[in-house]
């Protein structure tokens, strides 16, 4: 059962596209959905949805992300990307393939389903958050969605086995940009300048110390991965830009970190005379699995329930936007011992793993 997922995955793997610009991907997904016994719609740019009406007052939704990455593929697969510099290196081709295979099954087995079923094929998970756009379009309310599920391939976990946990699963992600404006002068007159490079180094050290000082029971990660400053070796730097990322789980931890990062900037500006601007983007909320729904899954599925992860991970996912609207649970599908996500040689045993993942999703459609 669900062997069509393999063919879907390989067809999609050949045509990776980015962000919202997914014409070939949308054409393929739509060509599979149109002949089925559902209603196909395009609520936002780059998305396609399929609703299967089982005559019930409530609906269960399944999310699949379709966008790829700007990565040059190095797998050597016979169905490797035909688009130079683009690759499905995060498993989204597999996610979409499993959802398509499940849609084919649901279409043929509408009688007896406890709920209607809605499939959300979204763009821009890797960039601006296509999930948020679908939420804003009102798609969940339109079809009376009462629960939503998503599944993500995950290297390092047992191939074909499903994992998850109640509560926090994936981190809130925020990009941090610190811009420091000083005054550039020749080193012979350094006392007349305002050294943006020294100020940037001081900011970095203080910010790291701040995060390290948080209580250990507040999981978080913070790193500046890029620092650009100055123009030449024999002049005081007039401008420094620090670029980093903050990962947290709890909103109170995020707010505390943000306040500290901003206060460090104010203090540094007063001490050095430099202009300091601290900017944190909105990012994605934490993926926080609904505990009541998670417990219900365990009770309903019994031996087929997901294995529980001991701890959340620091990666981020825009599935969290759906969870802010309706109860939702996100799962990891083990990809086995393979390259990491986003690596140019990421691959997995699709013939084994994808049918198992789709079979697990099928069980979720049957839950009371």
For the annotated catalytic residues, the residue numbers are 65, 126
Q: Three-state SS for 291?
A: helix
Q: Three-state SS for 343?
A: coil
Q: Rounded CA gap, 20 and 179, in Å? A: 30
Shortest CA distance to 66 belongs to which of 38, 86, 36, 46? 46
Q: Rounded CA gap, 297 and 316, in Å? A: 23
Kindly state the helix (H) or strand (E) to which residue 356 belongs, with its residue range. helix 350-365
CB atoms within 10 A of CB 84: 8
CB atoms within 10 A of CB 55: 8
Which 8-state DSSP code applies to residue 110? -
Q: What is the sign of the dihedral through the CA atoms of 259, 226, 338 and 10?
A: positive
Q: Rounded CA gap, 56 and 197, in Å? A: 63
Q: Rounded CA gap, 202 and 268, in Å? A: 8
Q: Rounded CA gap, 102 and 361, in Å? A: 7
Q: Write the CB contacts of 138 (distance below 8 Å, at least 6 apart in sequence).
A: none
> Token pair for residue 76?
């050597």
Helix axes 92-108, 4-13, angle to 10 degrees: 140
Sheet arrangement for strand 275-280: 220-229, 239-248, 172-181, 275-280
């Amino acid at each position: 059962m669900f062997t069509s997922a393999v063919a879907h995955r390989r067809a999609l793997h050949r045509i990776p596209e980015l962000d919202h610009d997914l014409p070939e991907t949308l054409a393929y997904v739509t060509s599979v959905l149109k002949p089925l016994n559902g209603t196909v719609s395009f609520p936002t740019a780059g998305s396609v949805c399929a609703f299967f009406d089982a005559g019930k007052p409530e609906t269960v939704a399944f999310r699949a992300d379709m966008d790829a990455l700007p990565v040059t593929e190095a797998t050597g697969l016979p169905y490797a990307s035909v688009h130079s510099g683009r690759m499905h290196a995060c498993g989204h081709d597999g996610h979409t393939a499993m959802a398509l295979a499940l849609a084919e099954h649901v279409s043929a087995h509408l009688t007896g389903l406890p709920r209607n079923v809605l499939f959300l094929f979204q763009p821009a998970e890797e960039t601006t958050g296509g999930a948020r756009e679908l939420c804003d379009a009102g798609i969940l309310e339109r079809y009376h969605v009462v629960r939503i599920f998503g599944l993500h391939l995950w290297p390092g976990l047992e191939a074909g086995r499903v994992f998850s946990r109640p509560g926090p699963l994936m981190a809130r992600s925020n990009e941090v940009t610190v811009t420091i404006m000083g005054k550039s002068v020749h080193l012979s007159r350094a006392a007349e300048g305002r050294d943006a490079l020294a100020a940037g180094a001081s900011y970095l050290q203080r910010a790291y110390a701040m995060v390290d000082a948080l209580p250990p029971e507040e999981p978080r990660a913070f790193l500046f991965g890029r620092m650009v400053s100055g123009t030449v070796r024999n002049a005081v730097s007039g401008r420094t830009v620090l670029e980093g990322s903050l990962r947290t789980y709890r909103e109170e931890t995020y707010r505390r970190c943000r306040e500290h990062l901003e206060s460090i900037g104010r203090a540094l500006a007063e001490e050095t005379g430099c202009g300091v601007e601290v900017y944190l983007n909105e990012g994605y909320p934490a993926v926080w699995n609904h505990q009541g729904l998670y417990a219900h899954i365990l009770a309903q599925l019994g031996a087929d329930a997901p294995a529980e992860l001991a701890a959340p991970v620091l990666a981020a996912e825009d599935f969290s936007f759906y969870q802010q609207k309706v109860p939702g649970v996100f799962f990891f599908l083990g990809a086995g011992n393979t390259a990491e996500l986003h690596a140019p040689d990421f691959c997995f045993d699709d013939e084994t793993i994808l049918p198992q993942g789709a079979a697990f999703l099928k069980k979720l459609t049957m839950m009371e």
